[in-house]
Structure 1
């Protein structure tokens, strides 16, 4: 079915939008919104109706609806300030002012000729580009980057939820991918055939992290037992009866990636035995069941190691990105016939997707665009600057890729805590209190010690911002001396006048009085956690391969090592400190008057270093769907808040223990897209 108004054609079957005969890129949810408007012309539509129909009743803010309407206006309106088609109805919502002509499958729309001409042009461009590449390769011995551009893109899926990690099955001309409807759901495996029909392959309690199809009737997948323990295993699935059998374990607390080396009939995957170890790349021979370690990353740091890889189509070279916390990652190219590293060079950080473009170059994606890297001369060229590329995989045609376009919106809300003896003065009822109302990712909240002043970070494509919201006042962005690559932790001084933060691996203190920064350590010291305790700055740092807790004055003087048996995240009071360790479970206590540490909670997970907080005589801990309070004196643990569908990433308890500021997802979606490339020459 098509909806046609003026020069706009909305094809609900192909999920495409054309304006003036040109294909317009459109997010799946924005497209669904446009279809709904077309089906309800001239009606005054409330935001509640849109949430019920377009968002299927999910809990989203008005800001999410406003953002989608704004994006739609950008696509179809000539003037966003004076919209012609989508008008705002005061105190109600919106009205779609045009009544489209509805064209069914049996009708022949005039837009077909536009679409056919567009597709023919794209096809001719691709053919010409392939011919040009062949000629260049045959007539030039110089290895150089071929300028590349996107000539066409189209959505494969348009579901509400998250579709990701696609793998094309050439034998059956279909695509396997992962899907989950809600953020809290376990991702399962789905298959889509060449005409868009899909079916669910798995339906169990495991969380699948990757799927690939072999040339025979077998599917291989990596999966986790759950998102808390993250015990990883690789399984094979029959395409005939979908019977699942386990092959091998792939480590602890890991989201594994898979590739199939058809030359040696082996799987290549990411593995680590313990959360404190860095990722390594392993292989598993399907005939002999032999497991082999292919890479040995640098030890230390935060244990990320070799975090993404790409196998070329001939299965003879493996490109691996190794994480480094010194501003640049490393690209390693391994010759699989000799298992030797033939290239080891600096590379961009924060890579989402990696793919071989040809024998001499790689395509990679990150949060600000799509790029080509020349192995011959280490040069980088830009294909497109945008945030619309996720993981990359090969498509059906040469120079065709599959990727994801995603949208993630999270805001910070205050939730009331059910603490005994604590009066909740922040809430008149059980509803949440809204700290932020932005369309970006707002996360890592840090509340003050005297007031509810809030520090938090906003993640945008290609950058991170630090914001502060004084209690009862609007928030403002905090300027920093350099670009912020990452913020590991933040904490307020006892009088809320200073904010300590671990930024880009160093320790910095910000004064809210004169709005200036002071560097307490050098940049890239490998600092992760920071805290204010007794007017001193405490931080964890990796020195000589060991993570321990250190202390200094706010002026940066009197630097002292506090722990000697390990320490990673720390909080404390005037008598003692409480801390976790990098490679060992447990919550530990060390008194200032004693030298021996005490194990306080033995089953405290290593990965919870961001998710606990000391307030008075209680340790607050976020555990999956609950926020609990552990009383240090009585050793009792009580649940003070239970999350349902809005599980937070991080929470921070207020000074009076009456509420917690939590970063909660408002809107999360991703869909699969087909992207076709061609040479610009």
Structure 2
């Protein structure tokens, strides 16, 4: 078999299993082109021997998984006499090309007495997938060494288990087994060889039957299966605020257990199944309350007056302790608190870095000795961690750097279940208790959230979302008759006008994973120009000369600012850490690139020369969503979680901005409308929300006064991302058109049938 035929046979196997065919893919910062035997990294293009490429492809098909030496020799050197020297030489050549240190690996890790594994993130090469920084921006010698947790964590699989199937095993010429195996043929050979290996842990199920669990109008969220698996508790917004409900599985019997004017969240069953615990946040802080599963009076079990927001809770297996995620303010990270339900003790368990989302969705291990939880850099960059109950430094278990929404244990308590966008869309994945042996659970749904299980019951309940956003355009002269751009049935958001008004850039998942798209001003002829294959990407902004689109994304874990040509190409990272950088915009003269960053421990607005250089903070305190006024004389911005629109004078940003120069321009802009405003020649367009009335599109004068209503908006208006056309006649923005979620129940297909 020739070397190119060998790679072709690998590709045929992928196609036969229903996976995508990776003609090219990225591994970390490298672009790998197997058909050309070419690896491109840091501005260098390296040709490699075919066998060296096959070694890399084999590891890439099992990212994060140890590939035994036997597999390399039996697959890459099939039908030849080979030994470890050839394999060692191939790995050494790859490390040299990738600038990889075997003592602190970022790409290939050696497993003693085992083999090798690829620990760099692997993803398909999309239309404009970011591969590497230019060599002059990040010299290999200056690249930061990964933390021990990052160096040892398994790399995320970019596709489903079916997308990277096991390769067929061919024999090598060694000993008496070859003749007998060869006679059996290729199919029998693969079975025979794998049969001799230790069997992997049994999967949760080969296939699942997914059934409707609820179908109420509105949102049903945060399911919790009862200890005997007969009922599901959840929250529902049928009366406006979220209340706790219980439904008997297999019937339409539903009990509304709470009726409060404020939201109740995160129901959890007591071990005996007779009562539920849930959380409520109000003016007096956070309360944990208990209610009978049959309804009745509500008892406050615990109160934390210092905390204002809650983001998950878990109950210990013995029902004696609770862990909850809470924070004291919108700009503080969530932390985990462990408390005894009898009130005898309470202590802080984790301390995430400032300026991050923090620690959410805690779950007790089934032995009650440790916790697993989700740690988020922000809402779109999250991973799973573990911490013992006695405290200590949390251990990172996954290296997704993706959106992650939900965490649970398998029914037998041996594996973790979590949702991740590692394959582009939200799907359910499982790993062992240490974050290894990653597998995708095929539930037949592309949008799975918040899985839940109960010990010994072979079923998984989860949320299935049906959310849709559209681009809406308003003709300011005739707001009642304004057409909107051409729509899709997917998620379209964050539109931005090109400087000539002929095109729109926006974020969409109409091609699968979210990407940056460009269309004509009416929404037609849309094409994707950038994608990170499932990693977060958003907030496009055109440069004043129309040659570049800036946006933010997190293919490497931290959110950074990239630019790409509106015609497509490889995005270039132009703003990186420390911390995250997001929401880019340009100065009117194109000399500066604005963005918000949490590098100081709070979100502030920064300015960086568009040609490159040092970024400087331009707001004296907190700031976000920065845009220059149309005349270029002021920089306008909001503050996270606060009401109002502020401004500072535009100046030479290399100079510090005195706090006294910060001026409140609009006091009435609500926190939920922090991006619902757009500078105009004669003032600002924004969303006004009168007390007890429907919101309106309004206009304020240049100094914030003379407010005039332009057009009514729906009473439940959920929009974001205002942008005004260059000729000042059209306003475009994102608008939520559908927000529904139902609960589903997945049971092993054999049991269901």
Task: Please confirm whether the aligned pair reaches a TM-score higher than 0.5, indicating the same fold.
Answer: yes
Matched, 1:652 2:725: no
Matched, 1:166 2:223: yes
Displacement of 1:216 after TM fit? 6.3
The CA distance in 2 between the partners of 1:652 and 1:353, in whole Å, is 31
Indicate the SS of the match to 1:543.
coil
Displacement of 1:455 after TM fit? 1.8
Alignment match, 1:333: 386
Alignment match, 1:571: 627
Displacement of 1:461 after TM fit? 9.3
Alignment match, 1:374: 432
Q: Which runs of 5+ in 1 are unaligned?
A: 1-141, 418-422
The CA distance in 2 between the partners of 1:473 and 1:377, in whole Å, is 43
Displacement of 1:459 after TM fit? 3.2
Q: How does 1:228-307 map to 2 (within 5 A)?
A: 233-239=287-293, 242-246=296-300, 247-249=302-304, 254=309, 256-263=311-318, 265-288=320-343, 290-300=345-355, 303-307=356-360
The CA distance in 2 between the partners of 1:242 and 1:332, in whole Å, is 37
Alignment match, 1:620: 685
Displacement of 1:391 after TM fit? 0.8
Indicate the SS of the match to 1:437.
coil
Alignment match, 1:312: 365
Alignment match, 2:463: 404
Displacement of 1:415 after TM fit? 3.8
The CA distance in 2 between the partners of 1:510 and 1:322, in whole Å, is 30
Q: How does 1:242-641 map to 2 (within 5 A)?
A: 242-246=296-300, 247-249=302-304, 254=309, 256-263=311-318, 265-288=320-343, 290-300=345-355, 303-324=356-377, 329-336=382-389, 338-340=390-392, 343-348=395-400, 349-357=402-410, 358-366=412-420, 367-376=425-434, 378-384=436-442, 386-395=445-454, 398-415=457-474, 423-424=477-478, 430-431=480-481, 433-448=483-498, 450-451=500-501, 453-459=503-509, 463-472=513-522, 474-480=524-530, 482-483=532-533, 485-494=535-544, 496=546, 498-504=548-554, 505-512=559-566, 517-522=571-576, 526-534=580-588, 535=590, 536-557=592-613, 559-573=615-629, 574-582=632-640, 587-592=645-650, 595=658, 596-600=660-664, 601=666, 608-622=673-687, 626=695, 627-633=697-703, 635-641=705-711
The CA distance in 2 between the partners of 1:618 and 1:434, in whole Å, is 24
- Answer whether contact 2:627 2:636 (CA < 8 A) is retained: yes
Displacement of 1:319 after TM fit? 0.6
Deviations 1:503-552 (A, max 9, x none): 33232334447877554334886211211123232222333545443334
The CA distance in 2 between the partners of 1:220 and 1:173, in whole Å, is 18
Change (3 A) 1:203 1:482: closer
Alignment match, 1:186: 241
- Answer whether contact 1:231 1:251 (CA < 8 A) is retained: yes
Displacement of 1:244 after TM fit? 3.6
Change (3 A) 1:408 1:288: same
TM-score of the aligned structures, taking structure 1 as reference length: 0.67
Alignment match, 1:89: none
Q: Which is worse superposed, 390-399 or 266-275?
A: 390-399
The CA distance in 1 between the partners of 2:503 and 2:284, in whole Å, is 35
Q: Which is worse superposed, 570-579 or 173-182?
A: 173-182
Q: Which is worse superposed, 307-316 or 579-588?
A: 579-588
- Answer whether contact 1:619 1:629 (CA < 8 A) is retained: yes
Displacement of 1:478 after TM fit? 3.0
The CA distance in 2 between the partners of 1:616 and 1:605, in whole Å, is 22
Larger strand share, 1 or 2: 1
Q: Which is worse superposed, 489-498 or 571-580?
A: 489-498
Change (3 A) 1:552 1:651: closer
Displacement of 1:500 after TM fit? 2.5
- Answer whether contact 1:368 1:461 (CA < 8 A) is retained: no
Alignment match, 2:739: 668
Matched, 1:222 2:272: no
Alignment match, 1:107: none
The CA distance in 2 between the partners of 1:379 and 1:576, in whole Å, is 53
Deviations 1:631-658 (A, max 9, x none): 3425344444433255233141423555
- Answer whether contact 1:444 1:651 (CA < 8 A) is retained: yes
- Answer whether contact 2:376 2:382 (CA < 8 A) is retained: yes
Indicate the SS of the match to 1:315.
coil
Q: Which is worse superposed, 326-335 or 374-383?
A: 326-335
Change (3 A) 1:329 1:151: closer
Change (3 A) 1:243 1:453: farther
Change (3 A) 1:359 1:456: same
- Provide the alpha-carbon RMSD of the alignment: 3.8
Displacement of 1:489 after TM fit? 2.6
The CA distance in 1 between the partners of 2:404 and 2:297, in whole Å, is 34
- Answer whether contact 1:222 1:234 (CA < 8 A) is retained: yes
The CA distance in 1 between the partners of 2:455 and 2:398, in whole Å, is 32
TM-score of the aligned structures, taking structure 2 as reference length: 0.61
Deviations 1:151-180 (A, max 9, x none): 433222233433222222347943222223
The CA distance in 2 between the partners of 1:231 and 1:288, in whole Å, is 17
Indicate the SS of the match to 1:569.
strand
Indicate the SS of the match to 2:403.
coil
Deviations 1:417-453 (A, max 9, x none): 5xxxxx33xx5xx255221321111112223455263
Count of aligned residue pairs for this structure pair = 522
The CA distance in 2 between the partners of 1:321 and 1:205, in whole Å, is 29
Q: How does 1:58-97 map to 2 (within 5 A)?
A: none
Q: Which has the higher contact order (CA 8 A, sep 6+)?
A: 1
